[in-house]
Structure 1
Amino acid sequence: MQEPEFRAVDPRRRFLLWFAPPLAVFVAGLVVLLVTGHVTGPFRSTTVVRVMLASKREFFQDEQVKQILMARGYQVHVTPVGSRDLAESPDLDSYHFVFPSGHVANERVKARREGKHAVPFRPFFTPVVLATFREHAEALRRAGAAVAHDNNAAPLFYDLDLDKFMALSEQRWSDLGLSNNNLVVAQSPDPCKAYSGAALVGFYAAALRDEPVQSLREAEELGLLVKPHIAAQGQAGEDMSPKFFVPEGRTHAVIAVMYEHQYIAYQLRREQPDRDRVLLYPTAQHQSTPELISFTPEGDRIGELMMNDPQLRRRAVELGFHPLGWSGETDQDFGRVITEHGLPQPPVGQAGRVPLPKAEFFERMLDVVGDCR
């Protein structure tokens, strides 16, 4: 019989045979985490930055934006408030930066910060638009107040003649062939609090008068002419977009004043474009160019990241904003991103601009229209 063989196994070799595969996986994962910057996250100091902002809160509340900023060492704590309330806030100086939506609030903030640290950044813009449903846009087209922007069988964008639209304000949708007995009016947020609501006042004022007002008396007189068109919508609400984009949106508002980025972001989230919801662009447009006004070095850093960081700028486009360069030039990424998602180019900058009055005159007009004070 053959003698049994005995082999002496080195315990170190047995250990390596067991340990080497998981060690290789661990090392590979560690390399990936180091490259992406995630592994150092728990050990990196995080700077909490406080911001008070208006309707562009979607940007800083976006989860991807939060992750990008966290990777850069910053956590932004958001306090949402209307632009006008922001500009008059008693604790304005306690924030690292603010982000109002319009020029009236911007100028008021700068005036309050005169002689103090106040560095402005303009990372993007978004037009103020009127969002509606296809059957209502087509009813306005038949009435001569709207024109499809392209020859598509189901266009997403229409040009709106505000003079003709305002002339329809005493008619009802049923007069235009729809089964809706409500007045033909646009619903907007409170013009005393929200910049999009104030922009609608500016639209109507521009339709009624070719040149901006030049005195408080003229502002009051024009405000009285605009007031019936704003009052016709009834009690003003908050941001109109959440209600407009729900399935029962028609029951809340068939024409809602909002920002273009809210509509574009909604469409980009979908697999296929929603061709039932469309935008009306007034023939005299107004572009909201919010200013990030920094009060501190930490606020400066956030502003610089928004102007320079490729990931943040790409995400801004995905959230529907038109990015701007340091000299105010428009970034071409917006058109490329939306066309990749099957959306046509919107008619931005292809018409005249609404000539808004100086801040003090516009504020007085808003007071008259909205009984703000």
Structure 2
Amino acid sequence: MLADVMPEEHVVVADTVREEQAIRQLTDRLVENFSGTYSVEQVEAAVAAARRRFQGHPVRQFVPILVERTARRQLERPAEMAGAVAVQADPAYTTMPPHRWPTTDERLRKQVPEPAEGGLPESRRETWSANKRFAPAAVAAVVAALVVVTVVTLALAIRKPGPAPTPSLAAPVGPVKVVRGVVGSEKLPFFQDPKVAEVLARNGVKVEVDPAGSREIATSIDLAKYDFAFPSSEQSAQRIQRQRNVTAKYTPFSSPMAIATFTPIFDLLTKAGVVRPGPVPTFDMAKYLTMVGNRTRWDDLPDNTAYPVHKNLLISTTDPRSSNSAAMYLAIASYVANNNAIVQGDSAEQNVIPTVARLFVGQGYTQNSSEGPFENYLTGGMGPTPMVWIYEAQFVEATVRGQVKPDMTLLYPSPTILSRHTVVPFDDAGDRLGKLLATDPDLQRLAAAHGFRTGDAAQFGTVAAEHNIPVAPDVLDVISTPTFDTLERLLDGVGKSYN
């Protein structure tokens, strides 16, 4: 045990640091949760009042949990209740209205002492005395009850089918389970988000992921060392299910395919009849395929002063042999090339392969995952990547992060495909994660903040509205993909065209 080899004072210091960190984290969480009702100072006061109830007691491990539960209950009551808590926390509050309460820094500078019982009104004296008499045995009883209830709840969630309940604790109860997975690279920022990690930790889970192209996950990655796979399409998920003899799957969110471009390119293609302007601009895939078939170059376009370069008019994609986003591009192109019908049968496959192969072979080198070309778009500008094939979620997330510049814009191909990001669990740990991603309201809200469309359309709409992102509220012109086997044969045909 660590306590056996460390001096007692070092253990105390370490515990104190951990408690302070937990208190800061839960305060930030409460500030965010109640931002529309209380000021930062009011929330901090409620936390301080709750913390005083456990001051001086030796059982510290669950103090942050109890502090958050107590403060949250007070903040969920009417404003005068929060005011009473604030007065207990700092007697400076007794002589001024809530909007003039001192900030945390001001209170620290004053070093305000604990209020004396005689200095409190009679209505508050009893509460303060009761708090000071709070016995260690009572704390231990509360902690024990809390642990028992939480363990039983989590055990039932694992044994019973259906959505797992979301614990309301501020910190994990018991050991945290590490769950390892391989995910499409476009989801890497989601799993790297500290807020996502925090929600998962509250549910006793720590997720470690490796990024890869979704088709690569389904075809060449050794999945034996993982608890789950999280490709970006149902087709890849189905193949993984067959390979691993798994029936369970979860689809926590989705994203339509889109095209990221620049305003000068937008204007140029609008004049050429490829882009149809509107509240949500669309990109005519049929006219685009005609231009590619005619080997049109950018400097062939009339009145082109914005991008007069002598190279093929092509959308930049990933490598279709390893990446799902390029496979979705191929699925849409094959549909259009097949007279707006899903490709079925050997004859139709052979007819469309020469047309769709030009979309990829003319690009030269392509990367294995969608993260690469989109990063080039964000950093390299219009020169190397005038148009790039992406997931809508990538553009939305980059806008939320402030990475999208004013001349960058989003187009929806007509038709498009909805990419359904699907979790395939390989064991109980992976299954639990899949349930959490699909049902936990905090994780669903964070997925929307990362640009994904969840089961609650309002979540995605709120993110788009807050950041003024011109996305389609409802994506209507959506087609289905070919069967997995048909798509594989089309991909093989395109792959042979590289040689």
Regarding TM over 0.5, the answer is yes
Distance 1:358 1:39, change over 3 A: closer
Deviation digits for residues 238-266 of structure 1 (CA, Å, limit 9, x no counterpart): 422111112x3223311001100010011
1:304 pairs with one of 435, 450, 454: 435
Residue 284 of structure 2 aligns with which residue? 161
CA distance in 1 between partners of 2:54 and 2:298 (Å): 61
One of 350, 353, 364 as aligned partner of 1:223: 353
- In 1, the alpha carbon distance for the partners of 2:435 and 2:257 equals 26
Match of 1:9 in 2: none
Equivalent position to 2:418, from 287, 303, 307 = 287
2:381 partner letter: G
Deviation track 1:191-221 (CA, whole Å, cap 9, x = no partner) reads 0111111111112111111222222443233
Residue 380 (structure 2) pairs with residue 241 (structure 1): no
d(CA) in 1 for partners of 2:216 and 2:416?
A: 25
Q: Does the 8 A contact of 2:335 with 2:343 survive in 1?
A: no
Q: Distance in 2 between matches of 1:232 and 1:294?
A: 38
What per-residue deviation string (whole Å, max 9, x for no partner) do you get for residues 6-65 of structure 1?
Answer: xxxxxxxxxxxxxxxxx9896379765534488755x73110001111232332222221
Secondary structure at the counterpart of residue 290 of structure 1: strand
Sequence identity, in percent? 28
Matched residue, 2:394: 262
Q: Alpha-carbon deviations, 1:335-365, whole Å to 9, x = none? A: 12211222334264222x2342111011010
2:278 is the counterpart of 1:149: yes
Kept in 2: contact 1:284–1:354 (CA 8 A): yes
Are 1:366 and 2:462 an aligned pair? Answer: no
Structure 2 distance, partners of 1:333, 1:196, is 24
Who is 1:111 aligned against? 242
Corresponding residue for residue 135 of structure 1: 264
Task: Name the CA shift for 1:163/1:283 in 2 (closer, same or farther; >3 Å).
Answer: same
**Higher strand proportion:** 1
Give yes or no for contact 2:397–2:451 (8 Å, CA) kept in 1.
yes
Contact 1:149 1:347 in 2 (8 A): no
**Under a length normalisation based on structure 2, what TM-score does the superposition of the two structures give?**
0.62
- The aligned residue for residue 180 of structure 1 is 308
- Please show how residues 35-50 of structure 1 align to structure 2 within 5 Å: 35-36=67-68, 40=171, 44-50=174-180
Equivalent position of 1:349 in the other structure: 475
Tell me the equivalent position of 2:52. Answer: 27
Q: Say if 2:470 is the partner of 1:339.
A: no
Change over 3 Å in CA distance of 1:355–1:342 after alignment to 2: closer
Further displaced range: 122-131 or 94-103? 94-103
Give the match's secondary structure for 1:354.
coil
Aligned pair count reads: 334
Measure the CA separation in 1 of the matches of 2:436 and 2:443. 7
Consecutive unaligned residues in structure 2, runs of 5 or more: 1-47, 56-62, 69-167
| Amino acid aligned to 1:97 | F
Given candidates 177, 184, 207, the residue that maps to 1:54 is 184
Q: CA deviation at 1:308?
A: 1.9
Letter in structure 2 aligned against 1:302? L
Task: Kindly report which structure 2 residues correspond to 1:57-96, keeping only aligned pairs within 5 A, or say none.
Answer: 57-89=188-220, 91-96=222-227
In the alignment, structure 1 segments of 5+ residues that lack a partner are 1-22, 151-156, 325-329
CA contact 2:50–2:67 (8 Å) conserved in 1: no
State the Cα RMSD in Å.
2.6
CA separation of 1:28 and 1:162: change in aligned 2, threshold 3 A? farther
Determine which structure has the larger helix proportion and give its number. 2
